[in-house]
Amino acid sequence: MPATLDLSGTVIVSGGNRGIGYELSRGAAEAGANVAILYRSAKDADQVAAKIGAEFNVPVKAFQCDVTEQESVKSTVSKIDKEFGPVTGLIANAGVAELRPALELTRADFDKIYNVNVYGVFNTCQAVAQLWIDRKFTKGAIVIISSMSGEIYNTSAPNKALTQVFYNSSKAAVTHLGKCLAGEWAPHGIRVNVVAPGYVNTDQTKDHPEEIKSYQANNTPLGRFCHPAEQAPSAVFLLSEKASFITGATLLNDGGYTVW
């Protein structure tokens, strides 16, 4: 089937080796981009990249890079740009979650969640924006994968008292971070937008107890979890030239979760 959206150059997808990120990598490859996958510790990232590359006949390569390590992010982004192909887009997708009551959470939990979900996103955005500003590239586009949990008081469980407070608040922070970066980098032609998914079937949600999962599905107006592939088109659209006047926006892709 021909792709209806076109991307050119290299798109970096952090956490692009599995879950939603895997489908974001496939979506970018289908639209014609070269795809550079950043992963933290996956053993099969090279095979995943090769599989996507073969499926869409475009170069796809995996790069080990912890998004919380500033120097590693800078040098990896620069290496991708020089050796793999000029970077034109970034999907800052890597994220981690906790599902524990607030009274059990510790400073270590806070650091773990915020370090990846907020600082890690900032790090990758900063490295890519610096590259574009240095070479006066005025068509760069960034999509941040946040969450609908950043928009609302999202109860994750039937007793309405389990809210993933660090995760949800980190997503509120990163959604606003996206708006701030959109404003600051607009004079350089860099667009920054946010996609906020609802509940998606991935490793992040697979261990939620069945009672909680059915509560979450039943509280989604469309009545089900999202397939990860359903998150890709919105991100690819926002990266593409078709979205050339859209910046600072948050696109909710949540099955209607936030309407009630």
Q: Applying CB under 6 A, does 57 fall inside the site for ligand NDP?
A: no
Tokens encoding 153 = 């008081």
| Binding residue (CB under 6 A) for ligand NDP from 33, 35, 116, 142 | 116
Answer for the pair 72, 66: CB distance below 8 angstroms, yes or no.
Answer: yes
Alpha carbons 61 and 79: distance in angstroms, whole number: 12
Closest CB 136 distance from ligand NDP, rounded Å: 29
199-228: which residues touch ligand NDP (CB under 6 A)? 199-200, 202-205
Contacts of 12 (CB under 8 A, 6+ apart): 35, 36, 37, 38, 77, 80, 87, 89, 90, 91, 124, 128
Rounded-to-integer distance, Cα 16 and Cα 171, Å: 19
Q: How many CA atoms lie within 13 A of 206 on its CB side?
A: 7
| From 5, 7, 13, 18, residue interacting with ligand NDP (rule: CB under 6 A) | 18
- Nearest-approach distance from CB 63 to ligand NDP, in angstroms: 10
CA 42 vs. chain centroid, Å, equals 17
Output 1 or 108, the one with its CB closest to ligand NDP: 108
- In this structure, what token pair is assigned to residue 234? 């919105």
Our answer to whether residue 119 is catalytic in this structure is no
**Catalytic residue chosen out of the listed positions 14, 25, 146, 147:** 147
C-alpha–C-alpha distance, residues 49 and 65, integer Å: 15
213 is a catalytic site residue: no
Site map (CB under 6 A) of ligand NDP, residues 129-158, x = contact: ----------------x-x-----------
Q: Is 171 a catalytic residue?
A: yes
Site for ligand NDP in 36-55 (CB under 6 A): 38-42
Which sequence positions are flagged as catalytic? 147, 167, 171
Q: Name the residues that contact ligand NDP, by CB under 6 A.
A: 14-15, 17-21, 38-42, 66-68, 93-97, 116, 120, 145, 147, 197, 199-200, 202-205
